[in-house]
């Protein structure tokens, strides 16, 4: 599909999506088509169950998709037997009205209706201009988080007791004067905490060190040792090597994500307008004391 086609498609779909009547028609069509496909084009006679070749082939194919081989003759017979049994139960169950007021069946049908609506929304391929606009409108949502690269030296309050703070101040002075060890972390206490983090987001830092530490290191100066700062683990000296502010990515950098979010929103809107359009076909009457709940508004909201 070239760009012209794409734009054209989008225009068409935008129009389609604004057309409630069309929704009904599309839905209706889908249901009819499906009903038709289900019944092989023609309903069987009331007391007859016909296992057409096409239906059997479909059973065999379904089997093959699961087992990744065709059914043996015995298995195929079993599939047919099972299908017939299910069909018998199904028809008898429907005849007895067991499908009425069955929560599972009702919800499954509702889900299928929602699928139809979603399929329509999913068919829409937006133009870059639309995505660009969406990105601009939701800049906060798509912002790349700030990134911090830093080293830290850990001093365990538990191991050092009352001297931990003084120890930290002393070590800080040495590090700031360039007199610290070649591996600053070796001046601190052993820990599973990372000695460095590279291009880490605030969330990543909080996950590793806790939120207090993440907040403080975010305010530390760049290019020099500073601290001491406290975390739930103990006392730390930190040296921030680089701080990259949160930035707004371009569409090219994150197009799949913008598309995903755009489609999610479209689906959401589509589902709502779809339901609203369908509901308009119905007059809803709420009886009893609960009617008061709807008195001030359109009684139809009872269906929400």
Site for other proteins in 270-299 (CB under 8 A): none
List the interface residues with other proteins, window 117-136 (CB under 8 A).
119-120, 122-123
Q: How many CB atoms lie within 10 A of CB 243?
A: 16
Q: Which of 50, 81, 98, 108 binds other proteins (CB under 8 A)?
A: 108
Token digits of residue 258 = 């913008």
Q: Which of 195, 275, 277, 302 binds other proteins (CB under 8 A)?
A: 195
Closest CA to 258 of 125, 120, 166: 125
Helices (H), ranges, 143-242: 157-160, 164-176, 202-209, 211-218
Which of these ranges, 168-176, 209-217, 222-230, 287-295, lies near other proteins under the rule CB under 8 A? 209-217
Closest CA to 80 of 96, 58, 102: 58
Q: Which of 72, 137, 196, 224 binds other proteins (CB under 8 A)?
A: 196
Minimum gap (Å) between residue 288 Cβ and other proteins: 22
Cβ partners under 8 Å of residue 105, min gap 6: 99
Residue (19 or 285) nearer to other proteins, CB: 19
Minimum gap (Å) between residue 291 Cβ and other proteins: 22
List the interface residues with other proteins, window 219-278 (CB under 8 A).
231-234, 241, 256-257, 260, 264
Alpha carbons 143 and 203: distance in angstroms, whole number: 14
Residue (247 or 285) nearer to other proteins, CB: 247
Query: What is the phi/psi pair of residue 277, to 5°?
Result: -65, -45
Q: Which of 58, 127, 131, 278 binds other proteins (CB under 8 A)?
A: 58
Which of these ranges, 107-115, 130-138, 166-174, 279-287, lies near other proteins under the rule CB under 8 A? 107-115
Does position 44 bind other proteins by CB under 8 A?
no
CA-CA distances (angstroms) from residue 183 to 23, 136, 179, 188, 195?
68, 45, 11, 10, 10
Does position 186 bind other proteins by CB under 8 A?
yes
CA-CA distances (angstroms) from residue 291 to 2, 275, 281, 296, 303?
55, 22, 20, 10, 12
The helix or strand, by DSSP H or E, that contains position 152, with its residue range, turns out to be: strand 147-155
Q: Which of 81, 92, 198, 272 binds other proteins (CB under 8 A)?
A: 198
Does position 51 bind other proteins by CB under 8 A?
no
DSSP 3-state assignment of 242?
strand
Alpha carbons 200 and 185: distance in angstroms, whole number: 19
Minimum gap (Å) between residue 55 Cβ and other proteins: 6
Q: Which of 33, 143, 173, 222 binds other proteins (CB under 8 A)?
A: 33
Alpha carbons 174 and 79: distance in angstroms, whole number: 79
My answer on whether omega of the bond before 228 falls inside 30° of 0, hence cis, is yes
Does position 138 bind other proteins by CB under 8 A?
no
Minimum gap (Å) between residue 285 Cβ and other proteins: 25
Does position 38 bind other proteins by CB under 8 A?
yes
Minimum gap (Å) between residue 77 Cβ and other proteins: 14
């Amino acid at each position: 599909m070239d760009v012209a086609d794409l734009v054209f498609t989008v225009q068409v779909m935008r129009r389609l999506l604004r057309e409630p009547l069309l929704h009904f028609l599309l839905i209706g069509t889908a249901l009819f088509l499906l009903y038709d496909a289900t019944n092989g084009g023609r309903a069987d006679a009331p007391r007859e169950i016909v296992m057409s070749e096409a239906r059997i082939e479909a059973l065999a194919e379904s089997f093959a998709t699961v087992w990744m081989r065709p059914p043996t003759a015995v298995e195929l017979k079993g599939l047919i037997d099972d299908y017939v049994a299910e069909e018998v139960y199904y028809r008898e169950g429907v005849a007895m009205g067991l499908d009425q007021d069955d929560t599972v069946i009702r919800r499954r049908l509702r889900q299928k209706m929602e699928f139809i609506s979603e399929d329509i929304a999913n068919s829409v391929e937006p133009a870059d201009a639309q995505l660009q606009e969406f990105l601009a409108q939701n800049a906060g949502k798509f912002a790349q988080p700030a990134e911090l690269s830093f080293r830290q030296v850990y001093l365990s309050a538990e191991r050092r007791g009352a001297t931990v703070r003084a120890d930290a101040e002393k070590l800080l002075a040495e590090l700031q004067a360039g007199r610290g060890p070649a591996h600053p972390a070796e001046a601190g206490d052993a820990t599973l905490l990372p000695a460095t983090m590279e291009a880490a987001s605030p969330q990543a830092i909080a996950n590793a060190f806790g939120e207090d530490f993440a907040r403080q290191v975010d305010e530390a100066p760049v290019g020099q040792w500073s601290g001491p700062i406290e975390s739930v683990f103990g006392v730390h000296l930190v040296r921030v090597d680089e701080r990259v502010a949160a930035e707004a990515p371009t569409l090219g950098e994150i197009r799949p994500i913008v598309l995903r979010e755009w489609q999610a929103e479209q689906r959401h809107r589509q589902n709502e307008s779809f339901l609203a359009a369908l509901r308009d076909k119905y007059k809803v009457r709420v009886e009893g004391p609960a009617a008061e709940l709807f008195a001030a508004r359109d009684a139809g909201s009872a269906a929400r």
